[in-house]
Amino acid sequence: MTTLTQTEDAKAPTGSDAFLSVRDLRVQFSTEDGIVKAVDGLSFDLERGKTLGIVGESGSGKSVTNLSILGLHNRKATSVEGSMMLDGQELNGASERDLEQLRGNKMAMIFQDSLTALSPYYTVGRQISEPFRKHTGASKGESRARAIEMLGKVGIPDPKNRVDDYPHQFSGGMRQRAMIAMSLVCNPELLIADEPTTALDVTVQAQILDLLKDLQQEFGSAIIMITHDLGVVANMADDLLVMYAGRAVERGSVREVLKAGQHPYTWGLLGSMPRLSADVNEPLRPIPGSPPSLLNPPSGCAFHPRCEFPSLVAGDGKCSTLRPELPTGRAAACHLTAEQKQQVFIETIQPRLV
Amino acid sequence: MSDNNTTTKAASVPQQRDAETATPLLQVKNLAKHFPIKGGFPIRRTVGAVQAVDGVTFDVNAGESLGLVGESGCGKSTTGRLLTRLLEPTAGSVTYRGQDISHAGRKQLAPIRSEIQMIFQDPYASLNPRQTVGSIIASPMEINGINPSGGREARVRELLEIVGLNPEHYNRFPHEFSGGQRQRIGVARAIALEPKLIIADEPVSALDVSIQAQVVNLLQKVQKEMGIAFVFIAHDLAIVRHFSQRVAVMYLGKIVEIADRDSLYLRPRHPYTHALMSAVPEADIDVVKKERIRLEGDVPSPISPPSGCRFRTRCWKAQDKCATEEPPLVQISGNLPGHLTACHFPEDPTTERTQDIILDPALVALEDEPAGGDKA
């Protein structure tokens, strides 16, 4: 079913079976203060039915990546380079017409803030049925029935009546459910969830995450889950991509990254998160400093000013001059050698995490 | 390892606390705050009330840290504002060192204000953009007419150093700082008068993960070294556990459970506490959640909260009694001293459970169909 499209990029893995394949994506905004390199050479693959978690702090480029996949960026002020292949179709540079065919149909998005993402002027039912009518050509009655079905599926009580409600009549958790219903109405093959539960309370977050997981099994969508919460990806995602300052710094399966991280930034994230199972007398280990400005990112490895371990790297000041590349497959973009990473992780990092 | 020096200093604090346990620093009794809802035309009348806080009772001892957790709309921030008397309570009392301040006037409050300080959630909104950092941190001293030896400026520089900022940045404006640094400025302002009690209202929720830990560590350092009591308001159970020796769980304007940290996290009794704990996503994939509880829907509106026990509409153990009789916050059998629970039908004091509790109809439908599983 997949069209075999060989990407021109030589260092790309054999990404032929990948459903979504992003290669060397660069997104830049021109602002008054200069050019912001929001995403700087990002590559990843996503298979059908799998979940990719993208973790990073604010400003690490995770949202921008996904807005450019959907073509929702401001075209006038943004330059997007690189290739984004969705099921053999190039998304970068695709016409607005083509993208409209895909958005809401083959790929859909769940936004963080459901109150601003839903229009206050239209009923929830109309907003859910609109993409369905547009993409399948269904009649008004059919699409309304579909909206009611979807609302029921995501757990809105009494969907027959609530379909005519406006977003403000829904609670926060219900609005998020309605947005999930809207994104799934056309059985998308790719679902991008941008911090879908950050604005919600924990008990509601648990409901929504479980709902997404169960719906994924039913619909078979591939999900890109963007979040800053390692706890959320730990039980949602198959693979994990850690981003810092517009670049991917580590890639691997969830287990590999969380249990045997290789990048100092990943270690820092793990050490700064308080956990319910951790020893309370053990102080948190924050990453010193603050995330860099993307207007003027640090030279070499963008993480080196906050890193604990540049002194271990052979070659004088290599970290501040030479930017480490992220090899394909399970890897981290760091100058430490594999043995050093393993040694540091076992000797220094792991004891802190117990 | 670098924290050794702080722990030694902290050793003196518990003794201090023991001496003062007889009279808690702050006593809160049946505290309530109802915000009126106005409506009607042409004459606007009060048509209802948001019962944000409705009968909350707890004590804060000197030097301790009390955590206040709950979901949005449960009244934790309003409670914080009542304690600092930024709001006047509708009913109940706040007693600070034996003095009732619940309806105290401006003049009576003036000496107390310097002893109870607040750290706000949003570091962008809580600092005046037109003042320099120096004047922001110095203003509490100015208002209270305090002239430290060596001058206010020297004291401000010292404070900046305590919170981990460069004293040279004295003349900078808030916009020149990042979110985490701004929150440090907020901390410096709060500790400028060496208060006895700090109300920290979600002090880290607006910050990035790596910065959160920095600020939590700073607050912990301040608490231990200066012996300041904290009321730590947050929605993140893991951070509250890390920071507070005692924790109160709030739901719809009431405290449903209050206990020492270990007692609450290891032996919770209230169904809502169980639900909260099981909902926290664990970053460690090898920690298998022993409980899986998924509630139905959201928190009801505090305008017309359910009768009796407020959690009963989402509770799996609710019976008729729960609707008619409000459960008192008491030490139920099997609880350690100081562990109070407001529930008629408490859960077992464990966090293990063999059967999942799934109340969400969508999850029930989805999980029963394809898996045909063993779920109840």
Residue B252 domain-assigned (yes or no) = no
Chain A, chain B: beta-carbon pairs less than 8 Å apart: 164
* Burial of B41 from C-beta contacts in 10 A (0-12 / 13-18 / 19+): exposed
Residue B55 domain-assigned (yes or no): yes
**Same domain assignment for residues B219 and B330:** no
Q: Tokens for B219?
A: 């607050």
The pLDDT tens digits of the residues spanning A252-276 come to 999 999 988 899 999 998 888 888 8
Distance from CA of A179 to the nearest CA of B (A): 15
Write down the H helix ranges in A235-326.
254-259, 264-272, 318-321
Which of B248, B250, B240, B356 is closest to B295 using CA atoms? B356
Instruction: Determine, for residues A287 and B220 on separate chains, whether the beta-carbon distance falls below 8 Å.
Output: no
**C-beta atoms of B294 and A207 within 8 A:** yes
Residue whose token pair is 């039908």: B345
CA B327 – CA B323 distance, rounded (Å): 10
Helix (H), strand (E) at residue B69: strand B65-69
Average pLDDT over residues B313-322: 91
Does residue B321 fall inside a structural domain?
yes
Under the banding of pLDDT at 50, 70 and 90, the label for residue B374 is: very low
The residue ranges of every structural domain in chain A are 115-185, 260-353
Task: Check whether B3 has a pLDDT greater than 80.
Answer: no
Q: Considering its fold, how many domains does chain B have in total?
A: 2
Q: Nearest by CB to A275, which of B284, B298, B367?
A: B284
Cβ of B279 within 8 Å of Cβ of A285? The answer is no
Query: Does B296 lie in the same domain as B236?
Result: no
Closest chain B residue to the Cα of A173, Cα to Cα: B298
Q: Could you report the per-residue pLDDT of B228-263, keeping only the tens digit for each?
A: 999 999 988 999 999 999 999 999 999 999 999 999
| Residue B214 and residue B112 share a domain | yes
**Are A283 and B72 a contacting pair at CB < 8 A?**
no
Contacts of B58 by beta carbon, 8 Å cutoff, 6+ apart: B28, B66, B248, B255, B258
Answer yes or no: are the C-beta atoms of A257 and A341 closer than 8 Å: no
> For B80-93, what is each residue's pLDDT tens digit?
999 999 999 999 99
Q: Is the confidence metric ipTM above 0.85 for this complex? A: no
Per-residue pLDDT tens digits for A221-264 = 999 999 988 889 988 899 999 999 999 999 999 999 998 889 99
Q: How far is B363 from chain A (nearest CA, A)?
A: 6
Confidence category of residue A16, pLDDT binned at 50, 70, 90: low
Residue B260 forms part of a structural domain: no
- Considering only CB atoms, A276 lies closest to which of B238, B294, B299, namely B238
**Using the beta-carbon criterion (under 8 Å), do A201 and B178 form an inter-chain contact?**
no
Pairwise pLDDT comparison (A1 vs B333), residue with the higher score: B333
**Angle at CA A109, nearest 5°, toward A118 and A145?**
65
CB distance from B375 to chain A under 8 Å? no
CA-based nearest distance A209→chain B, Å: 10
What is the pTM for the complete model shown?
A: 0.85
Residues B238 and B274 in one domain: no
Does one domain contain both B195 and B60?
yes
Neighbours of B349 (CB within 10 A): 16
How close B77 gets to chain A, by Cα (Å)?
15
Nearest CA in chain A to B70: A201
For residues B125 and A114, give the distance between their C-alpha atoms in angstroms, rounded to a whole number: 23
For residue B143, tell me if it sits in a domain. yes
B93-114, pLDDT tens digit by residue?
999 998 999 999 989 998 899 9
Query: Same domain for B12 and B97?
Result: yes
pLDDT of residue B19 exceeding 50: no
For residue B375, being part of any structural domain is answered with no
Higher pLDDT, A103 or B370: A103
Residue closest to B46 by CA, chosen among B59, B34, B57, B36: B36
CB contact residues (below 8 A), chain B span 153-182, against chain A = 178, 180-181
Q: Mapped to the 3 state alphabet, what secondary structure does B92-148 carry?
A: EEEEECCEECCCCCHHHHHHHHCCEEEECCCCCCCCCCCCCHHHHHHHHHHHCCCCC
Question: What gap in Å lies between CA A57 and CA B210, rounded to an integer?
Answer: 8
Contact A65, A54 (CB under 8 A): yes
Residue B91 Cα, gap to closest chain A Cα (Å): 28
B227 with B275, same domain: the answer is: no
Residue B256 inside a domain? The answer is no
B138 CB within 8 Å of a chain A CB: no
Same domain, B223 and B360: no
| In a shared domain, residues B100 and B193 | yes
Choose the mutation target among A60, A276, A350 for the interface with B, i.e. most B CBs under 10 Å: A276
Looking at the fold, whether B83 and B188 belong to one and the same domain comes out as yes
Domain that holds residue B123: 4-244
CB-CB neighbours of A338 under 10 Å: 11
Under an 8 A CB cutoff, do A201 and B298 touch? yes
In a domain, B86, yes or no: yes
